[in-house]
Amino acid sequence: MTQRVIFHVDANSAFLSWTAAYRKKVLGEVVDLRDIPSVVAGDKESRHSIILAKSMPAKKYGIQTGEPLFQALEKCPQLTVVPPDYGLYVEASRHFVQMLRQFSPVVEQYSIDEAWVDMTGTERIFGSARLAAETMRKRIYEELGFTVNIGISSNKLLAKIAGDFEKPNKVHTLFPEEMEAKMWPLPVRDLFLVGAATQGKLNKMGIYTIGDLAAADLPLIRKKLGKHGETIWHFANGRSADAVAATPATNKGYGNSTTTAKDVTTSQQAYQVLLSLCETVAARMRKDGKCGGCISIHLRTAEFKSFSHQRVLHNTTNNTEQIFRAACGLFDETWDLQTPLRQLGVQMTRLSDEPYQQYDLFSSVSPVQYERKLRLDEAVDSLRDRYGEDIIRRAKFAKDPQGHMAGGLDKARRTGVTKPVPEEF
């Protein structure tokens, strides 16, 4: 039986690399951002301005992805800061995936800058797995202008772990027979799906390396960490049967969140933010033809304490107003009217393909009114699709600087608006 050959391909410091490549190849700039201390980050005045990507010279100053920009500037005052350009990233990612499909038709995009490629049976075309990976790596750099790491194995899990070995611009293998030497000595935190909290629990059990976890007693791990513990125990032993899926998985929910520029201290401020979030969530659901039957809100205080609340609805819906009213109801039940909030989120789950509305004699919305609301949403969606999301906004946002369609996705990523990029990029 032919052994499966899976590649995990990850663009090195993607946002910074794509920006640098664009400026060099398209704009003709002389200075390469990758050769100087530089980062991609948001507005310096924004409280949620964090480092999204960094250059290798910036890394030498101890700058880390995810840390606040002001801390990075303290470490390196001469740091070059460039704003994120999600339109560019979407287009660069498209070219990236197109390149991978020239090597295999079975490509599963895991995120904007990484993907798995099933290379099983391609030896007669591209040679050995390592030779094929080197060819892929060189072509991406020569034709698209950025570097990648490629991990090679017989399953997706080990390929991803291999891809995280020494960077940048490297090819690594991690087949099952190589786990003892290459994977088991690594800190347990390096294992896929092991976060800081899980690492702490494992350390208290005397488990510090992936090898320690692989050799641990499964019933004990399951008792301490539940189903998640069983999953990561199998991962530590290199077990993953997932096939590379060329077709994206169906959404199980739709959500959005935003960190506010200033602390939210009143209900009216919170309602305004929740409405902007419901606008984006509901629009995405309608675009995909989905309705939700369960709503949840997520709140984070100024002291970074998080809590959430959810409710199953009597109906399934993608109507903005209904989702907003339900979100406000949950918020009123959850917030203590005092604690300042810095982040709010809305999520819809229990999805279905058709709306379901339950009416009674005391319902505040008649079938005719509900149908009109649906038609109004569709008309608004049509206008925004044709002329941009700012073509129409609710009166509540007429004089409010707060974005009327807020959330974790940048406007370019929500709308698909991208800047033109030459095919050779």
- pLDDT for 355-407, tens place per residue? 665 544 445 556 667 678 778 888 877 877 777 766 666 666 656 645 665 65
Contact predicate 150/133, CB 8 Å:
yes
pLDDT digits (tens, 9 = 90+) for 321-361: 899 999 999 999 999 988 999 889 999 999 988 766 554 44
148: Cβ contacts below 8 Å, ≥ 6 apart: 9, 10, 11, 12, 136, 137, 140, 141, 169
Closest by Cα among 113, 139, 142 to 126? 139
Measure the CA–CA gap between 162 and 172, rounded to whole angstroms: 6
Q: At what angle do helices 86-100 and 129-139 cross, to 10 degrees?
A: 140
pLDDT digits (tens, 9 = 90+) for 231-243: 999 999 999 878 8
**DSSP secondary structure of 287-333:** HHT-EEEEEEEEEEETT--EEEEEEEEEEEE--HHHHHHHHHHHHHH
Residue ranges of the chain that CATH labels 1.10.150.20: 184-236
Global pTM reads 0.69
Could you confirm whether 108 is annotated as catalytic?
no
Write down the number of H helices and E strands in the chain: 15, 12
Decide which of 3.30.70.330, 3.30.1490.100, 1.20.20.10, 3.40.50.2300 is the CATH code for 254-415.
3.30.1490.100
Residue ranges of the chain that CATH labels 3.30.1490.100: 254-415
Q: What is the pLDDT, as a whole number, of residue 180?
A: 96
60: Cβ contacts below 8 Å, ≥ 6 apart: 37
Measure the CA–CA gap between 150 and 15, rounded to whole angstroms: 18
Measure the CA–CA gap between 82 and 21, rounded to whole angstroms: 13
- What's the chain's average pLDDT? 86
pLDDT digits (tens, 9 = 90+) for 227-278: 999 999 999 999 987 888 777 666 788 998 887 878 899 999 899 889 989 9
Sign of the torsion formed by the C-alpha atoms of 192, 195, 196 and 200: negative
Question: Which one from 67, 74, 91, 114 is the annotated catalytic residue?
Answer: 114
Residue with tokens 């030896």: 123
pLDDT digits (tens, 9 = 90+) for 60-108: 999 998 888 989 999 999 999 999 888 899 899 999 999 999 999 999 9
Q: What is the pLDDT, as a whole number, of residue 410?
A: 45
184-236 belongs to which homologous superfamily? Answer: 5' to 3' exonuclease, C-terminal subdomain (1.10.150.20)
SS3 348: strand
The DSSP call for residue 286 is H
Q: What is the pLDDT, as a whole number, of residue 412?
A: 42
pLDDT digits (tens, 9 = 90+) for 133-144: 999 999 999 999
State the first-to-last Cα distance of the chain, in angstroms, to the nearest integer: 39
Domain 1-175, what fold? Alpha-Beta Plaits (3.30.70)
